[in-house]
């Protein structure tokens, strides 16, 4: 390499830089980390020292190191942005789960209120049925009392008629009728 012209040396150096940088920052590395950039920087410096370049090549090597470092920083920034996006997604998921839990709790409270309302309706229906039964029972008792009074009246009338018949029989036997009995009904 020492016998080459500066232009050939520069082209060789550029190809070495490109090959090294391409290999280090290819998609085979999922995440470029600080150690990769340090390793790549040491490789570039080793190549520069081995080739004993001119100041232009040193500038190119420095530029390559800066570019690799910028790639590292951009990937680090992209990773940080991805982590932030993941954290925001997790936060959104947690908020959604919280909202779902609150909705389920509200639904449970609504179901509880509906059950209490149905229970109150059932109790009201029971109270209405008991009131109807009491009214029916009172009406039946009143009807039975009326029937009993009618029966008593009938029995009293029958008794009166029996007594009158007995009196008539006795009068017909004696053929005397000192007084007459009139019913009070």
pLDDT tens string 85-117: 999 999 999 999 999 999 999 999 999 999 999
Distance CA 26, CA 112 (A): 62
pLDDT computed for residue 95 by the predictor: 95
Distance CA 148, CA 137 (A): 16
Indicate left, alpha or beta for 183 from its phi (over 0: left) and psi (-120 to 50: alpha): beta
The mean pLDDT value of the chain amounts to 76
Element (H, E) at 168: helix 55-174
The pTM assigned to this predicted structure is: 0.39
Largest CA distance in the chain: 184
Q: What is the mean pLDDT of residues 46-51?
A: 66
* Cβ–Cβ < 8 Å for 75, 26: no
Portion of the chain with pLDDT greater than 70, in percent? 56
């Amino acid at each position: 390499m020492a016998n080459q012209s500066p232009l050939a040396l520069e082209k060789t150096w550029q190809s070495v830089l490109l090959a090294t940088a391409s290999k280090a920052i290819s998609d085979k590395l999922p995440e470029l980390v600080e150690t990769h950039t340090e390793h790549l920087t040491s490789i570039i410096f080793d190549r520069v020292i081995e080739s004993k370049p001119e100041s232009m090549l040193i500038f190119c090597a420095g530029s390559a190191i800066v570019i690799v470092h910028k790639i590292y920083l951009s990937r680090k920034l992209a990773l940080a942005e991805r982590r932030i996006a993941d954290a925001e997604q997790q936060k959104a998921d947690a908020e959604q789960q919280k909202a779902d839990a609150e909705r389920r709790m509200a639904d449970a409270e609504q179901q509880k209120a509906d059950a209490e309302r149905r229970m109150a309706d059932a109790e009201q229906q029971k109270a209405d049925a008991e009131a109807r039964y009491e009214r029916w029972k009172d009406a039946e008792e009143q009807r039975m009392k009326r029937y009993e009074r009618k029966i008593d009246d009938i029995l009293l009338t029958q008794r009166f008629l029996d007594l009158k018949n007995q009196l008539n029989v006795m009068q017909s036997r004696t053929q005397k009728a000192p007084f007459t009995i009139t019913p009070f009904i």
